[in-house]
Structure 1
């Protein structure tokens, strides 16, 4: 074990993680999703989007343990004969990629604006916070739908599939930055009055350097917790948009798209087409939320 890894293993955060069964189970569940999704090309039994390997005669097969099921398709197949387990692996990768990208962009924008608002104060603070307040008064899903609709109206129809991923990530990102901005602003207001910031000002350190090199490292705790919770929200938002038909294209479906496709067969008896992608989405979001709750308690022992 390297020295860096050993220091982390002996830290208070690692000790709290090892002694929290919920955190361990949630971490293992999330790790399983990450391995199966980003390693879908190696883990998945089939490539459900390779038309040369899809058998239409195997369409609508039930799970392997049901009558008429096949061991080649553990969770059954959809209406086109695609292996549902493999489709869940590939769909989870799309959902995670969109969620992670949206969280990173929201975090960068929110941290920058929150630092600026908290450190500058005055009209700058008031202007940024009023924009955040206005945006927070609307549900995130409505903001994402508005941005997606504007983008679809601004670009030709033949470009919609090509811009689907950037528009979806941008819509979710723009809907999520106010939470980061408000959190960072509150922490910055506390930190900018401390002695180390005053000392940096006295020796002539510039404001951007103070904000990003001195203040930012001391406000990352709440941001990490918020980012973990926001990842689950971003995945749910993407799934909702895809379920409504305004998300990712059908050629690269996410979990939300798989649920929407399976919903058409729910009442005809092929329940597995929508139940299993829905269960995968629930487990993914639950593992992220449980990990976020544990991280919040671990970084703030007073909440324990």
Structure 2
């Protein structure tokens, strides 16, 4: 009996936990993810929300702007499962169409913060010196600014409450966190022996960064970016609830929550419950996806 056979008899699950040496880290991570219910279920929720944003007609045939004040604040009924809002608009169609601005803000902000964070974090950590000092002090400045106050001032100066104005604001306050995380990962990757060996062999800086450092330092950025998607959905709702985010006639979950909160306590809870449920489910799904990615990409957690 070989040693491997003895191990299989002693612990039948041992071979299942061992990563396949023929697979890369990414393929091995994907192999684990597709077998993880905490990845599959949130992913289905996220795909449903994205489909609402891209093609809301797949979910409802009712025009969200087709309102009748006679139906104002009526509860769920046949053909209108979420009831009507204050203006007599169908709440179900409003919730479905409200996914689009939130998804756009989440995707734009995540892409923006990830690109800036990876760029500044990599440049600062790799080259060090005064470049790293300038970038680090700049991130300290943004960390020291109160988000809500800065948001009020910025949106007042810009004079816009559009999706793009809010996205710029969130990117401006989101990139420092990503920069810090990427900087730490690049510093760790940069200190490894094979990087020094590559440099001695004459490899140029771009090749070292893109071929050897980033592939080994990008995993934390992917995890944080996934969680940040949900964070930006929540941030839009927070800004809108405070009156500085999206405004009518734009339809978003934040707008629906802001407009329904004063009526929810006076006998019309459906105006608040349904948009809140969609918001919470979406944010929670992104957080669970981030946790699943973290567990799959970190060999120490296998």
TM-score w.r.t. the length of structure 2 is 0.84
- Per the TM alignment, residue 147 of structure 1 is displaced from its structure 2 partner at its CA by 2.7
Q: Is the 8 A contact 2:85 2:271 kept in 1?
A: yes
Compared CA separation, residues 207 and 110, structure 1 to 2 (3 A)? same
1:95 matched to 2:102: yes
C-alpha displacement of 1:139: 5.0
Is 1:116 aligned to 2:123, yes or no? yes
User: What secondary structure sits across from 2:249 in the alignment?
Assistant: coil
Decide which structure has the larger Cα Rg and report it. 2
Aligned equivalents of 1:281, 1:99: Cα separation in 2: 12
Task: Please give the per-residue CA displacement for 1:117-164, whole angstroms capped at 9, x wherever unaligned.
Answer: 001101211221122123224454444344323323xxxxxxx35xx2
Q: Which runs of 5+ in 2 are unaligned?
A: 1-22
Report the Cα distance in structure 1 between the residues aligned to 2:276 and 2:103, rounded to whole angstroms.
15
What's 1:25 paired with? 41
Corresponding residue number in structure 1 for 2:4: none
User: Any unmatched runs of 5+ in structure 1?
Assistant: 1-6, 65-70, 153-159
Please point out which of 205, 214, 217 is paired with 2:215.
217
**Residue 73 (structure 1) aligns with:** 80
1-side partners of 2:114 and 2:70: how far apart?
47
Residue correspondences, number? 279
Matched, 1:288 2:301: no
Identify the residue that residue 82 of structure 1 maps to in structure 2.
89
Normalising by structure 1, we get a TM-score of 0.84
Other-structure match for 1:260: 258
RMSD: 2.2
Q: Separation in 2 of the partners of 1:143 and 1:110?
A: 20
Q: How far apart are the structure 2 equivalents of 1:219 and 1:142?
A: 34
8 Å contact kept, 1:242–1:254: no
How far apart in 2 are the matches of 1:221 and 1:28? 22
- Verify the 8 A CA contact 1:145 1:241 in the aligned structure 2: no
- Report the CA distance between 1:296 and its aligned residue: 0.8
CA distance in 2 between partners of 1:302 and 1:215 (Å): 20
1:75–1:84: 8 Å Cα contact kept in structure 2?
yes
1:149 is matched with 156
Question: Are 1:144 and 1:175, in contact at CA under 8 Å, matched by a contact in 2?
Answer: no
Give 4+ residue runs of structure 1 displaced > 6 Å after superposition.
Answer: none
Does structure 1 conserve the Cα–Cα contact (< 8 Å) formed by 2:30 and 2:296? no
What corresponds to 1:240 in structure 2?
Answer: 238
